[in-house]
Amino acid sequence: MKKYLKHFAVLFILFAIVLVVFIVALIMKKPKEEKVYTRTNTQCKTEERVFDYADVLTDAEEDALRQLIAEKQDEIGCDIVLVTISDPDYAGDNAMMNYADDFYDDNMFGYDEPWGDGALYLDNFLGIGNSYSWFSTCGRVENRYSSSMIYDLIDDICYNVNRDPFGSYQLYINSLANTMSSNSSLNVEIPTFAIWGVAALITLIYILVCINRNVGRKTTDANTYVAGGHAQFPDRRDVFISKHTTSRKIQTNNGGGGGGGHHISSGGFSHGGGGGRH
């Protein structure tokens, strides 16, 4: 047992050394140049991005959100839209999805082109516990956001939106910008060849260490496989007792490509998205 523990200790030390080297290399790595986006959608019907029909924001808060959106849009090359309503006719996920998608489509949002890169967050204020939210994605945002990412964002916003709409919508804008940013720490990439190279190096060193420790060592003798002077042949058999299988249906998206919540809007355009309550 001690022999194996020594082997694993050597392997662990080698792995730790290689890991430290990689971390240092990543820290010293020259950061990617920030990508500069130029808006190319000239057909969008409005320059407005904050539509507070539910009147949950003050004028000063609306202006602050507009300024923040303008800054972040140019950083990530995506339109960022916020809509609040108070309408019981849209009390449901499907109704909210259609409203959000149609609002995006009708105004021809998209930073790069109509119905292109961007997102819209819709809140329907109908009272605490009865209000609905929907996050609609399009273009690069749709491809970037998985279903779990969508619902994490919605949960974060819904947590405090009834008490602090302004702060929650700041969170929406900043979170979206961080996720879509080309300089996000989540985008740090380690080349595949480097991963395989490290694995091969550790394996080679481990094998050489083991071989070196066993060179010239006698590992068998005349009694290795004999007990009591007679060969032992254990009686082993497989007995089939019963058969039991488990079947699970894996949900697939038959709507084609796209990210979380992919679907086609009534206008015929690709969107992703998801909803929540608050």
Query: What is the tens place of the pLDDT at every residue in 209-240?
Result: 666 665 555 556 666 666 665 656 566 665 54
Which whole number is the average pLDDT over 25-29? 59
pLDDT higher than 60, residue 182:
no
Return phi, psi of residue 271, to 5°: -140, 160
Please state, in angstroms and rounded to a whole number, the distance separating the CA atoms of residues 45 and 48: 9
Q: How do beta strands 79-85 and 50-52 pair?
A: parallel
User: Which CATH number fits the domain that encloses residue 57?
Assistant: 3.10.310.50
Contact between 142 and 262 (Cβ < 8 Å): yes
For residue 127, the enclosing domain spans 50-184+262-277
- Residue 121's DSSP bridge partners are 82, 135
- What pTM was estimated for this model as a whole? 0.66
Which whole number is the average pLDDT over 34-53? 94
Q: Is residue 267 part of a domain?
A: yes
Q: Is residue 60 part of a domain?
A: yes
Q: How much is the pLDDT for 17?
A: 74
How many domains, the chain?
1
The dihedral formed by the CA atoms of 44, 48, 53 and 54, expressed in degrees to the nearest 10: 120
DSSP letters for 160-217: TTTT-HHHHHHHHHHHHHHHH-TT-GGG----HHHHHHHHHHHHHHHHHHHHHHHTT-
Nearest CA to 277 out of 119, 167, 148, 130 is that of 130
